[in-house]
Chains A and B, each alone.
Chain A
Amino acid sequence: DAKTTQPPSMDCAEGRAANLPCNHSTISGNEYVYWYRQIHSQGPQYIIHGLKNNETNEMASLIITEDRKSSTLILPHATLRDTAVYYCIVRGANSGYALNFGKGTSLLVTP
């Protein structure tokens, strides 16, 4: 699976959009981009995934660049409860079963 690079930490004001970047320059054509988050020692929580097109669900939007070498997770109106570590993971649909959690981005949402 392709390696990902994320900033170690970010801050965001409550009510503003949080834009979390991820670089995955070695991604291959059949690999998906996944985002999970972990709120203070709770189990990781699936947020969203995408292959080529931008995706949106009730939690977030995922913007994937045209060359697929980077992506951005957008939380449109961050709340204090969105404070968490966010993980960008690249995985092929038919590759191994393991999710490779890196160090992620620690997002702090401030009042």
Chain B
Amino acid sequence: EPEVTQTPSHQVTQMGQEVILRCVPISNHLYFYWYRQILGQKVEFLVSFYNNEISEKSEIFDDQFSVERPDGSNFTLKIRSTKLEDSAMYFCASSPDRGPGGYTFGSGTRLTVV
């Protein structure tokens, strides 16, 4: 069964450093998403991406965040200057269309900011 692949599985970074989280969505999917989950809290939507541009973003997704699809397979989330409160699981997801079908999520990257 096709999978969404995320790397790395765990990243530790110093506060103030930039991090890039990487995702390989399912190959024929056209819509891409990032979600995050702070330990013990709900899964929260960050951003959706379609046709090489952001289609929707939450208020969490401020200027320190950016997304990019640098080539035909990767989808990245960049956090420019990490803060302690950015520590969370970050999940990438993809879907073939905007229709009613389900999204496929990756297994996540655990980001720890120290």
Determine whether the beta carbon of A94 is less than 8 Å from that of B98. Answer: yes
Determine whether the beta carbon of B44 is less than 8 Å from that of A101. Answer: yes
Interface residues on chain B, number (Cβ under 8 Å): 27
Determine whether the beta carbon of B48 is less than 8 Å from that of A32. Answer: no
Neighbouring A residues of B101 by C-beta, 8 Å: 49
- For B54, the closest partner residue in chain A by CB is A97
Binary contact readout A32-61 vs B (1 if CB under 8 angstroms, 0 otherwise): 101010100111111111010000000000
Q: B22: shortest Cβ distance to chain A, in Å? A: 15
- For A46, the closest partner residue in chain B by CB is B102
Binary contact readout B14-41 vs A (1 if CB under 8 angstroms, 0 otherwise): 0000000000000000010101010000
Residue B93 lies at the interface, judged by CB distance under 8 Å to chain A:
yes
**Contacts A51-B100, A93-B99, A98-B58; A41 near B43 (Cβ below 8 A):** no
**Contacts A96-B56, A97-B56; A44 near B43 (Cβ below 8 A):** yes
Sort chain A's interface into a size bin: 20 to 34
Q: B105: shortest Cβ distance to chain A, in Å? A: 3
Neighbouring A residues of B44 by C-beta, 8 Å: 101
**Contacts A97-B56, A103-B42; A42 near B108 (Cβ below 8 A):** yes
Determine whether the beta carbon of B102 is less than 8 Å from that of A43. Answer: no
Neighbouring A residues of B37 by C-beta, 8 Å: 41
Q: A96: shortest Cβ distance to chain B, in Å? A: 6
Residue A65 lies at the interface, judged by CB distance under 8 Å to chain B:
no
Residue of A34, A42, A49, A103 touching B107 (CB-CB under 8 A): A42
Chain B CB count within 10 A is highest, among A34, A36, A38, A99, for A99
Residue A100 lies at the interface, judged by CB distance under 8 Å to chain B:
yes
